[in-house]
Amino acid sequence: MSLKARSLKGAFFNLSANGAGQLVNFVVYAIMARILGVEEFGLVAICLMVVEFCNLFVTVGVSQNLIQRDKWDNEFASLSFWFLMAVSLAIAVLMFAVAVPVAWYTYSELAAQLIAALAIIPLANGVRLVHKAKMERDFLNKRLAAYDTAGVLVGGVVSVATALTGFGAWAIIFGKIVQAFVSTALTWHGSTFRPHWVKDKTHLPEIIHFAKPLIAMSFMNFFSQRTSNIVIAAFLGAATFAYTSVARQGFSVLNNLTFQPLNRIALAGLARVSDDKLSDTFGRVVSMTALFVTPVYFGVGAIAHPFIDLVFGDKWVDSAYLLSILALQTPCNVMAYYLPNLLIARGEPGAAFKLNIINLTFNFLLPLAAVPWGLYAVISALVVANYITLILKFWLVSRSLDVNLSLAFKETWMFTFVGLIMFAVVLYLERFHVFGLDNIFLELPALVAVGGVIYCGGLLLFFRRKTLKIVNEFKSGKKQKKKGKTPLAEDTID
């Protein structure tokens, strides 16, 4: 099997494991949301966000360096392992020294205890990452995917079992810790790498130099995506944060099941396409994304109330309103999703960093200004911030590449138009109980069916040629991928 074919196969298994893990996590998340109280659930969500931030110091940089090196060097890998051990231990100590006291004084004793327990997770990840990198270099992605999925499954079972026996907020913490240890133990077992003590520290500057810019970029991504969450947690409390967390969870899963698979197809083409064909290829990519992603996001926003009621329970009704509001940023997500990676692929990492600065600035300032008017105002301000940053992002990108907002709008407006009509009609039918169905198991499929008919019918009636062209191109791209070729760029490479 060729290197390209093995790489594509590895990417497929990584994506499959991620999708399976996301679905399992979503099911566990929904069960825990039903069992735990709102305040309790929000507190856990805040603690997990803190741990996610701390994990950035451990999970970014070192393993990427090991994967991209020409040859595997056990000396270099062992030094990387002990470097990660030192970093992860330092992170655990900092969590105890800083995060635990802050949680104690700003939230509660329980919050401090939860973060203290979660401090073991960065350490477990540090133990695992070099072995994981070795398995990825050896193209053992299928086995690695199985290990990740096993960790998620075992951790999910532990969370649900302990929640049902009355452990409350601790149930999620137990599950996350077990997940980390199971994945780490299995990866150690499956990897051929075994670390040894290294006295020669010659390669240490290279490890640090490679990791620093990646960590900085990850920090920017983290804060730009979660600034509104941080504002809500800091100023509106754990219970309010819980409603936001539930609303975002649905879109998080959708992102991993829609944007990421399309991203695998698109970015290879965007990286290899010649400069004179970049504009055309980008237009094809965003139009393909808009066709398939727009109805999913608008659709979930339209059926938010029965969806939240069915999956999470009626106590989360406030999350349904937030879900409907967040759906309005769908056109922004579609048009701007590929811009950072596009800039990086075209050799413009500085411009990509500026995109994150733009995101961070507006996603923080506008929601912060809306805090006095409550949660709905904060989420609405976040949607407005997305439209403002959309304009600024494309202005910045157009200075370096032949890609602009008018092109993205031209290729996606028809899908946004039909999607908004579908959103408005289905939301009206649901809010005013037009069907008169008291059974949610009958109402939800009926609403989905109406939405599907409106979207597909609208496109085929008014935009038939454009729609069929994209569908055929998508089918062609999948066939090229099966043959080991690069879809979307096969006819545009220099």
Question: 250 and 123, same structural domain?
Answer: no
Lowest mean pLDDT among 26-30, 238-242, 388-392, 405-409: 26-30
Q: How far apart (Å, rounded) are the C-alpha atoms in residues 391 and 358?
A: 11
Integer CA distances (angstroms), 266 to 222, 271, 395, 411, 415, in order: 23, 9, 22, 15, 19
Hey, is 493 helix, strand or coil?
Answer: strand
b vs e for 386-424, b when ≥16 Cβ sit within 10 Å of the residue's Cβ? beebbebbbebbeeebebbbebbeebbebbbbbbbebbe
Residue after which a domain boundary falls, among 187, 202, 217: 202
Q: How far apart are CA 437 and CA 282, in angstroms?
A: 44
Q: Is 159 in the same domain as 303?
A: no
Position 243 confidence tier, pLDDT thresholds 50, 70, 90: very high
Within 10 angstroms of residue 479's Cβ, the number of other Cβ atoms is 11
pLDDT at 409 over 80: yes
Examine the domain organization and report whether 197 and 239 are in the same domain. no
Quick check: 489 pLDDT over 80?
no
Distance CA 216, CA 220 (A): 6
Dist CA 180 CA 191 (whole Å): 16
Let me know if residue 219 belongs to a domain. no
CA geometry: angle at 145 spanning 160 and 5, to 5°? 155
- Which amino acid, one-letter code, is at 451? G
Q: Is residue 212 part of a domain?
A: no
When pLDDT is averaged across residues 241-261 and rounded to a whole number, the result is: 78
pLDDT (tens digit per residue) in 58-97: 776 777 777 767 788 888 889 989 988 998 999 999 898 9
Of 452, 421, 427, nearest to 303 by C-alpha is 427
Q: Are residues 193 and 89 in the same domain?
A: yes
Quick one: 284 and 155 in the same domain? no
DSSP symbol at 329: G
- With respect to residue 36, please indicate whether it lies within any of the assigned structural domains: yes
Per-residue pLDDT at 18: 56
Q: Judge if 190 and 248 occupy the same domain.
A: no
pTM of the prediction?
A: 0.83
Instruction: Please give the helix or strand (H or E) that residue 12 lies within, else none.
Output: helix 3-35
For residues 478 and 259, the answer to whether their CB atoms sit within 8 Å is: no
Residue 273 phi, psi dihedral angles, 5° rounding: -70, 145
Structure tokens at 326: 């967040």
Nearest Cα neighbor of 248 from 33, 20, 19 is 33
Within 10 angstroms of residue 426's Cβ, the number of other Cβ atoms is 24
- pLDDT for res 259: 67
Q: Count the helix, strand and coil residues of the chain and give each as a percent rounded to the nearest 5.
A: 85, 0, 15
For 425-484, write each residue's pLDDT tens digit. 999 999 998 988 888 889 999 999 999 999 999 999 999 998 998 888 766 655 555 555
Whether residue 30 lies inside any domain: the answer is yes
Q: Of all residues in the chain, what percent carry a pLDDT higher than 70? A: 87
Residues 390 and 297 in one domain: yes
331 in a domain, yes or no? yes
The fraction of the chain above a pLDDT of 90, given in percent, is 36
Q: Which H, E and C letters describe 363-395, residue by residue?
A: HHHHHHHCHHHCHHHHHHHHHHHHHHHHHHHHH
Mean pLDDT of 7-23: 54
Would you state the pLDDT for residue 300?
A: 93
Residue at 140 is within a domain: yes
Burial class (CB in 10 A: 0-12, 13-18, 19+), 453: exposed
> Distances in Å between the alpha carbon of 281 and those of 8, 400, 407, 446, 487?
21, 16, 11, 37, 11
The DSSP secondary-structure symbol of 233 reads: H
Residues 194 and 268 in one domain: no
Q: What is the pLDDT of residues 140-184, one digit of tens each?
A: 877 888 888 899 899 999 999 999 898 888 999 999 999 999 999
Please tell me the predicted confidence (pLDDT) of residue 218: 78
Residues 16, 109, single domain; the answer is yes
Backbone angles phi, psi at 37, to 5 degrees: -75, 165
Of the two residues 482 and 113, the one the predictor is more confident about is 113
Q: Are residues 161 and 263 in the same domain?
A: no
Question: In this predicted structure, what is the pLDDT of residue 481?
Answer: 52
Does 177 fall in a domain?
A: yes
370 and 436: one domain?
yes
Residue 249 lies in domain: 235-489
Cβ(80)–Cβ(207) under 8 Å?
yes
Q: What angle do CA 124, 128, 130 make, to 5 degrees?
A: 140
Q: Identify residue 33 by its one-letter amino acid code.
A: A
Full DSSP string of 434-474: TT----HHHHHHHHHHHHHHHHHHHHHHHSHHHHHHHHHHH
- Residue 290 contacts residue 412 (beta carbons within 8 Å): yes
Is the per-residue pLDDT at 369 higher than 70?
Answer: yes
The mean per-residue pLDDT over the stretch 273-294 comes to 85
Q: 391 or 348, which is more confident?
A: 391
Partners of 228 in the beta sheet?
Answer: none
Among 399, 37, 443, smallest CA distance to 243 is for 37
Output the six-digit token pair for 235.
Answer: 């100023």
Q: Read off the DSSP letter of residue 139.
A: T
| Single residue among 158, 181, 202 that ends a domain in this structure | 202
Q: What is the mean pLDDT of the chain?
A: 84
Could you give phi then psi for residue 168, rounded to 5 degrees? 60, -135
Where do we find the tokens 């070099």?
A: 130
273 strand-pairing partners: 493
175 and 258 together in one domain: no
The full DSSP string for 270-333 is HHHB-GGGHHHHHHHHHHHHHHHHHHHHHHHHHTHHHHHHHHT-GGGHHHHHHHHHHGGGHHHH
| CA gap 184, 373 in Å, rounded | 45
Of 181, 202, 223, the one marking the end of a domain is 202
| Structural domains of the chain, count | 2
Q: How far apart are CA 85 and CA 88, in angstroms?
A: 5
Tell me, what's the pLDDT at 242?
A: 92
- Flag whether 341 is in a domain: yes
